[in-house]
């Protein structure tokens, strides 16, 4: 298998607008997918690799399974960045899961409240956040049937290795639901431009290796229903987490994306750095349902467990005194960074919703707000307790 060059790649330092060159981007994405490099693929359609029975037969043999997984990893890293598995999930299992997800949607609607969304107006789509544990509690045997799927394990291990963590967000795009703006995904893709630029280049290179994005089609998805739009090979553009915020790059995406129809039970998996976005549902009668799977590396963990809430409670009176005495705000911020959890995920997106932004506030954000507004210790303690309550998974008791 061959490797490709990566324009705009730097190894250290920080990406900025001047690193985003549309001509260099075009040199990366305007290449053909070499079918000969992927012997287990059935075909290449619009630059995307389609896999089926040939791959499943090879993957079932322990002797050939590593070669299959190496091929998938190459496809996600150095190839088009996206693979489609035909008939990946048994249709009967998908139908049962669809019914369970619809029951969850109706129950949550009856309970009230607006569902936030990372890339759409709240309420535009139907969402089930935290669908993995909700399905397990409501329908444990169905959960087992669904997640016993070997295709999910095959590609997840190929990209992330063992001990990965699966999460699931059911998304239903209703008739008339509008397309998303082209973006990348978790982690850096869920940040605004200034936040993404604050991370050095080596983190931009590392971030995609920590997550695998996927989607299982729960209904037939002809193009008019708006299946996801993709730009094959765009994951290889090193400055892409900055570039996707540039209107010139999103305009190029709009003119050159590919869009593949999917059948119920098909599954798509892609590198989170791939430029993509959900399409417009142009039908009047099809609710486009997908189970969005985000699979995370086991290595996204610190070595020790730290009770940051206890640390903040102990240190906050000191910080408050420093702030009142006119201490350097940069020094205060450095202490907050060491004391508090600075990342808003993982969380419970039912309660800790991304309304008005792509991510809720972190614990550190709350402490900085408290310092800026001179909260007393009691008010901060109550706010931190409420935040912890929002972040905890709280699946409903089965009915």
Q: Do 275 and 314 fall into the same domain?
A: no
pLDDT digits 0-9 by tens, 195-219: 999 999 999 999 999 999 999 999 9
Q: Give a yes or no: residue 40 inside a domain.
A: no
Strand ranges for 145-286 from DSSP E: 165-173, 211-217, 229-230, 258-259, 267-270, 276-277
pLDDT in tens, 168-183: 999 999 999 999 899 9
| 57 lies in some domain | no
**Mean pLDDT score across all residues of the chain:** 90
296, 331, 348 — which closes off a domain? 296
Confidence (pTM): 0.85
Last residue of one domain, picked from the residues 296, 330, 345? 296
Find the domain containing 201 and state its range: 17-33+91-148+159-296
Helix, strand, coil share (%) of the chain residues, nearest 5:
45, 15, 45
The rounded distance, in Å, linking the Cα atoms of 161 and 329 is 42
Task: Looking at the structure, tell me whether residues 128 and 233 fall in a common domain.
Answer: yes
Residue 397 belongs to a domain:
no
Strand partners, 268: 84, 215
- Concatenated DSSP letters of 107-126: HHHHH--PPP-SSS-TTSSE
CATH of the domain at 228: 2.60.120.620
Q: How many CB atoms lie within 10 A of CB 332?
A: 19
Q: What is the mean pLDDT of residues 25-33?
A: 96
Is the residue at 343 inside a domain? yes
Q: Quick one: 323 and 235 in the same domain?
A: no
Domain count across the chain: 2
Residue 238 in this model has a pLDDT that exceeds 90 = yes
* Same domain, residue pair 247 and 286: yes
The H or E element spanning position 288 is strand 288-296
Alpha-carbon distance 67 to 80, whole Å? Answer: 18
Pairing of strands 288-296, 165-173: antiparallel
Do 223 and 326 sit in the same domain of this protein? no
- Decide if 48 contacts 232 (C-beta within 8 A): yes
With respect to residue 329, please indicate whether it lies within any of the assigned structural domains: yes
Q: Please give the structure tokens belonging to residue 302.
A: 């610190």
198 with 129, same domain: the answer is yes
Separation of CA 317 from chain center: 37
Same domain, 241 and 281: yes
What is the phi/psi pair of residue 268, to 5°? -115, 135
Spacing of C-alpha 134 from chain mean position: 19
CA distance 112 to 373: 32
> Based on the domain organization, do 291 and 176 belong to the same domain?
yes
Cβ(130)–Cβ(348) below 8 Å:
yes
Establish if 62 belongs to a structural domain.
no
Among 237, 272, 296, where does a domain finish?
A: 296
Q: Mark whether 28 and 96 lie in a shared domain.
A: yes
pLDDT digits (tens, 9 = 90+) for 53-88: 999 999 999 999 999 999 999 999 999 999 999 999
Tell whether 110 and 215 lie within a shared domain: yes
Q: Which residues pair with 211 in a beta bridge?
A: 296
The answer to whether residue 390 scores a pLDDT higher than 70 is: yes
The pLDDT value recorded for residue 1 is 41
Do 352 and 215 lie in a common domain? no
Residues 191 and 110 in one domain: yes
């Amino acid at each position: 298998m061959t490797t490709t060059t990566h324009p705009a790649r730097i190894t250290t330092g920080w990406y900025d607008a001047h690193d985003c060159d549309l001509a260099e981007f075009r040199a990366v994405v305007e290449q053909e997918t070499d079918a000969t490099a992927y012997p287990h693929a059935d075909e290449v359609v619009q630059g995307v690799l389609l896999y089926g029975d040939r791959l499943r037969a090879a993957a079932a043999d322990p002797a050939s399974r590593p070669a299959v997984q190496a091929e998938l990893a190459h496809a996600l890293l150095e190839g088009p960045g996206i693979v489609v598995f035909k008939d990946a999930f048994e249709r009967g299992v998908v139908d049962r899961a669809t019914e369970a997800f619809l029951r969850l949607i109706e129950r949550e609607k009856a309970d009230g409240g607006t569902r936030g969304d990372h890339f759409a107006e709240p309420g535009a789509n139907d969402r089930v956040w935290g669908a993995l544990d909700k399905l397990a509690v409501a329908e444990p045997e169905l959960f087992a049937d669904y997640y016993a799927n070997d295709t999910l394990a095959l590609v997840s291990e190929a990209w992330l290795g063992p001990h990965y963590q699966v999460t699931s967000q059911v998304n239903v795009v209703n008739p008339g639901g509008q397309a998303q703006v082209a973006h990348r995904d978790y982690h850096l893709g869920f940040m605004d431009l200034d936040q993404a630029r604050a991370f050095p280049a080596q983190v931009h290179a590392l971030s995609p290796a920590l997550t695998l994005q996927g989607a299982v089609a729960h209904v037939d998805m002809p193009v008019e229903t708006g299946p996801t739009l993709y730009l094959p090979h765009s994951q290889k553009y090193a400055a892409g987490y900055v570039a996707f915020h540039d209107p010139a790059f999103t305009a190029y995406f709009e003119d050159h994306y590919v869009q593949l129809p999917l059948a119920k039970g098909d599954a798509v998996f892609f590198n989170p750095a791939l430029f993509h976005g959900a399409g417009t549902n142009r039908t009047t009668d099809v609710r486009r349902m997908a189970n969005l799977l985000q699979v995370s590396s086991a290595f996204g963990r610190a070595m020790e467990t730290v009770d940051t809430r206890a640390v903040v409670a102990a240190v906050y009176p000191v910080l408050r005194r420093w702030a009142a005495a006119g201490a350097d705000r940069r020094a205060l911020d450095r202490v907050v960074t060491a004391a508090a959890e600075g990342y808003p995920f993982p969380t419970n997106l039912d309660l800790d919703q991304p309304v008005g932004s792509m991510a809720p506030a972190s614990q550190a954000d709350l402490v900085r707000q408290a310092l800026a507004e001179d909260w007393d210790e009691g008010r901060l303690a109550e706010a931190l307790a409420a935040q912890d309550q929002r972040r905890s998974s709280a699946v409903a008791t089965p009915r």
